[in-house]
Chain A
Amino acid sequence: MIRYLTLPVHRSESIGGNYCLLAVRDAGLAALCRPGMFFELKSGAAGQDRRLFKPVSIYKVQSDEIAFLIKVLGPGTQALQVLEPGAPLKLLGPLGNAFQLVKDSRVLLVSGGVGYPPLAYLRDKLDASNEFTFLHGGNCRDDVFPCDDVWTVDGSSGRQGLVTEGAVQLIRDKGINVVYSCGPLPMLKALAQIVGPILHYVSLEAYMACGVGVCHGCAVPVGEGYQRVCKEGPVFDASLIRWGEL
């Protein structure tokens, strides 16, 4: 059941150069959230009513609070960034499928840039029977968030290089048998190659309009045809994605 609500922003923070955190409180909505799901978000401020919603993954759910970590990319996310506590936030969701939660596995989480939030939420909900390592990469220190091992392209934080280099080592050394990932397309493509036959769940990003499966705008090449990131996704089995077409 999809819900459409306008809620007052409960918390609003600027993070680093290019990110912001927004949180709302609603116990009913929080109870529907699962790692991997997303909301379509939009500022309730005047002047936004003829703009599209922006799809944003759930970052954290703690009791009745739902938090979003948002990268500011264009007019829609700029309008979200300036929302102060108490300002109206429009939410449509929760939308999409969720990550399959495994047990008794050696798990690797790999995120890049704004791919971090869904994996941070997943990490919080992973069963204690799993051993896991969380790698995160970004262009520079502004893209870095708490995890086990940080990589930056410019070396300004953590290890210098691409996060996929870290994944190669870990898969080799730790006998990883489940991988979860989310991040920019070049990272995901490289990772899919590295991971090979290991079970690999990828959360994909796509430009989106409706968010509920009716417009077919967010289609990605999966299986024999196209599947919708908003409906069949955003989490896909990496082995079914036709990476060459992305």
Chain B
Amino acid sequence: MNRLAASLGRMELQSPVAVASGTFGTEYFDLFDQSVLGLYVSKTITLQARTGNPPPRLYETEAGLLNAIGLQNPGLEAFIGEELPRLREVLKVPLIVSFSGASIDEFVQILLALEKEEGLAGYEVNVSCPNVEKEGIAFGADPDVVYALTRRLAELTQRELIVKLSPNVTDIAAIAQAAEAGGASSLALINTLYGMAIDWNTGKSRISRPVCGYSGIGIKPVALALTYKTAQAVRIPILAMGGIHSWQDALEFFYAGAAAIAVGTALYCDPLSAARIMQGLREHMEARGLSLKQIIGTVS
């Protein structure tokens, strides 16, 4: 019996542990067996290649990490031509391709191109990157836009359609409901919070893009609250993330209402964190005689 079997929309997962888009590569499979993961989420791709933001792009704060990568990626064509065949060959777990666009038409164009490709289980629609001007959060902050976008995409695919939400909005529940009404089969949250750090000695921003993305340990309470709030507002499942480092952290997210969780920044503190979380969850569930689905959303 697999006590950690999970469901995410149209997908049945062998493990409730995933990786956050942009934080993972198959390089890590040198260090642990990929069967630890329930699904693999690619780095976000865009229609055209993006070179990303100028350096410096990173800074470790007192509690977590700032980044301004800026969706650096080779673009749709190179992804389909080079990266996707490689991923198809290496991966034994379901592949979710994360993508973003500067207009609804761009999102549609990318999805249609990917629909022709085999070997992917679904999509993560990234409307929440804080580090770019047009793609990303410019899209994800308005419920009407999220509804219109999700509806267009949902009409075009039978695959898993995950909409990734930003915490940098007034009411995440309203955006989540818009994605659900538009036909999203699940939600991913949270993308990074807005963050900033300044060198007190020189007065310069630590990062080339002063207001950038904040992830890791410091955002966990925020991510947990938004997971809970969203789970109360929608019926579709949530892939939750934000500062999850340990199996105990993961359990908190399941109690708050997450159907599955993703690890991101924690991988940079311990490349084995996903494997460690999976093992800890397995032992805990075994010891308690519980299965994951019994505890989801049961916070009291």
Contact = CB atoms under 8 A, between A and B. Distances in A.
A92 B59 CA distance: 20
Contacts of B221: none
Contacts of A32: none
Given A50-B269, A52-B65, A219 B27 contact: no
B24 interface: yes
Contact of B51 (A1, A51, A213, A225): A225
Contacts of B28: 212, 214
Contacts of A82: none
B30 A218 contact: no
B72 A4 contact: no
Assign chain A's interface to a size class: 20 to 34
Contacts of B216: 50
A50 B245 contact: yes
Given A4-B31, A216-B57, A217-B57, A226 B270 contact: no
A213 B25 contact: yes
Given A212-B25, A217-B57, A52 B69 contact: no
A211 B82 CA distance: 23
Given A4-B271, A52-B269, A226-B72, A209 B55 contact: no
* Interface secondary structure of A, over-half rule: loop
A190 interface: no
Given A52-B65, A209-B67, A215 B56 contact: no
Contacts of B25: 212-214
Interface in B231-289: 245, 265-272
B268 A52 contact: yes
A1 B267 contact: no
B174 interface: no
Contacts of A92: 271
B54 A215 contact: no
A220 B55 contact: yes
B54 A53 contact: no
* Interface secondary structure of B, over-half rule: loop
A96 to B, nearest CB: 13
Nearest to B31: A4
B60 interface: yes
A209 B65 contact: yes
B58 interface: yes
Nearest to B264: A215
B27 A2 contact: yes
A221 B269 contact: no
Contacts of A208: 58
B22 interface: yes
B268 A206 contact: no
Given A206-B56, A212-B271, A217-B57, 16 more contacts: A2-B27, A49-B245, A49-B269, A50-B216, A50-B217, A52-B60, A209-B60, A209-B268, A212-B27, A213-B25, A213-B27, A214-B27, A215-B23, A217-B58, A219-B69, A225-B51
24 contacts: A4-B271, A49-B270, A50-B245, A52-B268, A53-B269, A92-B271, A206-B56, A207-B57, A207-B58, A207-B59, A208-B58, A209-B65, A209-B265, A210-B268, A211-B268, A212-B28, A213-B25, A215-B58, A217-B58, A219-B72, A226-B55, A226-B72, A245-B54, A246-B55
Give the 3 A-B residue pairs with the shortest CB-CB distance, closest first.
Answer: A214-B25, A217-B58, A225-B51
